[in-house]
Copies of this chain bind each other. A is one copy, B any other.
Amino acid sequence: MQKPRIALDMDEVIADVQPKFIALFEEAFGWRPDPEQYRGGKIYDLPGTEKLREALHLKGFFADLPVMPDSQEVVRELMADFDIYIVTAAMEFRASFEDKYDWLAQHFPFIHWRNIIFCGDKSVIRAEYMIDDHVRNLRTFEGKGLLYTASHNLAEEAFTRVNDWAEVRAFFAEEKRRLA
């Protein structure tokens, strides 16, 4: 029998983009932004910092992002009962393709290339679950959407929230019981 599918986002869900933007901000402006300052948005939403976002187009940006704590272990566990598909909106960033592919091979070698998707608009994805930090991706999704907490989505209330990978594990343990 086919396992239920989980469409799993990369950035800010399994790969931590934040430390790099904090470092870029500090490099550019000489001080460290306080999380309260960019609460509800991204660091490069702060006035005068829009140029920071351009770093996303540089080769290497996505190559050395830290792995979100516990994500490797929990993904590996979930694979016993769910089909995991990595679904990342890479298509805006031509320079990111090989970096993202290599990052996955390095940190999630147990995910087959058949289960990796680089896309733009995620409305074209068919799965039972989606874990994403962007409500725009969950809104067009037909399955159950889980909002992975990030600074820019703290005020959102429309989706089941997961704050870390321990909560992802707990959510799917409950789903597994429910489906059994």
Contacts and interface: CB of A to CB of B under 8 A. Distances in A.
Interface of A: 5, 7, 85, 87, 90-92, 94, 97-98, 101, 112-121, 123-127, 142
A79 to B, nearest CB: 15
Given A5-B124, A97-B101, 6 more contacts: A91-B117, A114-B121, A117-B117, A117-B124, A123-B126, A125-B125
Nearest to A102: B94
Contacts of A121: 114-115
B118 A118 contact: yes
**Count of this chain's copies in the oligomeric assembly:** 2
A161 B5 CA distance: 30
A116 B142 CA distance: 20
Identify whether the interface residues of A are mostly helix, strand, loop, or mixed.
mixed
Contacts of A118: 90-91, 97, 117-119
Which one of A5, A98, A126 has the highest number of Cβ atoms from chain B below 10 Å of its Cβ? A126
A120 B114 contact: yes
A115 to B, nearest CB: 6
Contact of A127 (B90, B114, B120, B124): B124
A46 to B, nearest CB: 26
Nearest to A143: B126
A104 to B, nearest CB: 10
Contacts of A124: 5, 7, 85, 87, 117, 125-127
A174 B121 CA distance: 28
Contacts of A85: 124
20 contacts: A87-B124, A91-B101, A91-B118, A92-B113, A94-B101, A97-B98, A97-B101, A98-B98, A114-B120, A114-B121, A115-B121, A116-B119, A116-B120, A117-B118, A117-B120, A118-B119, A124-B127, A125-B126, A126-B126, A126-B142
